Chains A and B, each alone.
Chain A
Amino acid sequence: MVAVGSKCRVCKAPAVIDLPRHNAHFCPEHFLELCRRQVVKAIDKFDMLSKDDRILVAVSGGKDSLAVWDLLVDLGYQADGLYIGLGIGDYSETSAEYARAFAVERGLHLVEVKLREDYGYDVPTAAKATKRVPCSACGISKRHLFDKAAIDGGYTVLVTGHNLDDEAAVLFGNTLRWDVEYLARQLPVLPARNGFPKKVKPLIRLTEREMAAWCIVRGIDYVVDECPMAEGNKHLAYKAALNAIEQESPGSKAAFYLNFLDNMAPLLAGRSAAATDGLNACSSCGSPTTGDMCAFCRLGEKASAHEPVPVEVLLGKRRGRR
């Protein structure tokens, strides 16, 4: 039996996705067109990229980073990928395979950095050695290595796959704490400064659901399983709360974040200490830092001296504590 479903708002062909925030359904072709339009709008409004830029896309093997890489290449930008092997057991191995397969199938260049081989530690070991939550050790490592790879490789812009849900969740957390410092920094473009590359987020107008749909419609295989270390991550709770609101009031997430950028961010300009503080060169690696040694080198020093901790061992201990 053929199921009867909704029609595309544009061409009346059978729809594959409903987008309540646009009060519309779309066929594959017009859904992809909508996504391209949203990315172009973000790039143009915030002056994110030009066709002359040498772009490095931080790629995890997940839907958002592969989608943004695909979208940028599709829109005619020159973009290489950067994959960082975080050493999170099978999850990292599988993620790397998706990133490599995406690059090979499209003839794109993927730069790879491996924490264990190149820096002598991995994320589970760093979490254990520094008594940090894994997402914190992971974030410090990734941010440093993204910056380093972009600068060392002569790229003019670093792109990340942060989407509307990611940004709305961070904004929600920062607002719950009224953290003015972080609110002032939550912008979709960070200009190059003092040894840091320019960083941009072209997916801020698109949701996670839309990015997963982009990958499915485009035939992009990505790692669907969640990072085993993300369990208990506060952002997941913020996203669930925002999605409960979105279900009742479609468009709320976009209004919350995009109106923040239009109406609130200008009032906070200059309130970020990071924009004005003097920076030193890290005593170990020379990267810009506010202290003597940068957070990455402090983390690496402790973690590389620690006996390797398999992710299963760390997860077993975390679960056992509950």
Chain B
Amino acid sequence: MVRMKVLLRNPRRELEIEGRRNVNALLAELGMQRESHLVIRNGTLVPGDAELAADDVVEIRPVISGGC
């Protein structure tokens, strides 16, 4: 079965997830705040209601910086 590849950052790591879901559902499942992340599907930015398929390559990019 094809599993969705999900790249996470800070630290960099990769997950494989089964089944379809939309961006908001994926973030909620991983306990990530919507306001603190962007999701890039196959190289393109996508909104929260975008559907993610099993053969998609997904990057969840954190957007919060600690520098001041």
From residue B12, how far is it (CB to closest CB) to chain A in Å? 8
Contact of A216 with B50 at beta-carbon distance under 8 Å, contacts A139-B68, A226-B10 already known:
no
From residue A232, how far is it (CB to closest CB) to chain B in Å? 9
Bound-state CA distance A216–B63 (Å) is: 11
- Is residue A29 contacting chain B, with contact meaning CB distance below 8 A? no
Q: Identify 19 residue pairs between A and B in the complex whose beta-carbon atoms are under 8 Å apart, listed by A's number.
A: A3-B51, A5-B49, A6-B47, A16-B44, A17-B47, A63-B63, A135-B68, A170-B68, A209-B35, A209-B63, A216-B38, A224-B10, A225-B10, A226-B65, A227-B67, A230-B65, A236-B64, A240-B64, A244-B33
Interface size, chain B (Cβ < 8 Å): 29
Within 8 A of B (CB), among A178-227: 207-209, 211-213, 216-217, 224-227
Contact of A207 with B35 at beta-carbon distance under 8 Å, contacts A3-B50, A15-B47 already known:
yes
- Interface digits, A1-29 against B, CB 8 Å rule (1 contact, 0 not)? 10111100000000111101000010010
Contact of A25 with B47 at beta-carbon distance under 8 Å, contacts A227-B66, A227-B67, A235-B66 already known:
yes
Bound-state CA distance A3–B26 (Å) is: 15
- Is residue A165 contacting chain B, with contact meaning CB distance below 8 A? yes
- Interface digits, B26-67 against A, CB 8 Å rule (1 contact, 0 not)? 000000011111101100111111111100000001111111
Q: Which of A5, A17, A211 has the most CB of B within 10 A?
A: A5
In the assembled complex, which residues on chain A have CB atoms less than 8 Å from the CB atom of B49?
Answer: 5-6, 18
Would you call B51 and A224 a contact (CB within 8 A)?
no
Interface size, chain A (Cβ < 8 Å): 45
Contact of A3 with B52 at beta-carbon distance under 8 Å, contacts A165-B64, A244-B33 already known:
yes
Contact of A212 with B67 at beta-carbon distance under 8 Å, contacts A1-B53, A5-B49, A17-B47 already known:
no
Partner of A247 from B35, B40, B64 at Cβ < 8 Å:
B35
Q: Which of A135, A209, A243 has the most CB of B within 10 A?
A: A209
Smallest CB-CB separation from B10: which chain A residue?
Answer: A226
Q: Which of A3, A170, A208, A213 has the most CB of B within 10 A?
A: A3
In the assembled complex, which residues on chain B have CB atoms less than 8 Å from the CB atom of A139?
Answer: 68
Would you call A217 and B45 a contact (CB within 8 A)?
yes
In the assembled complex, which residues on chain A have CB atoms less than 8 Å from the CB atom of B34?
Answer: 20, 247
Would you call A166 and B68 a contact (CB within 8 A)?
yes
Q: A3-B50, A138-B67, A224-B62 are in contact. List 10 more A-B contacts (CB 8 A).
A: A3-B41, A3-B53, A16-B44, A62-B67, A139-B68, A216-B45, A226-B10, A231-B66, A236-B66, A247-B33
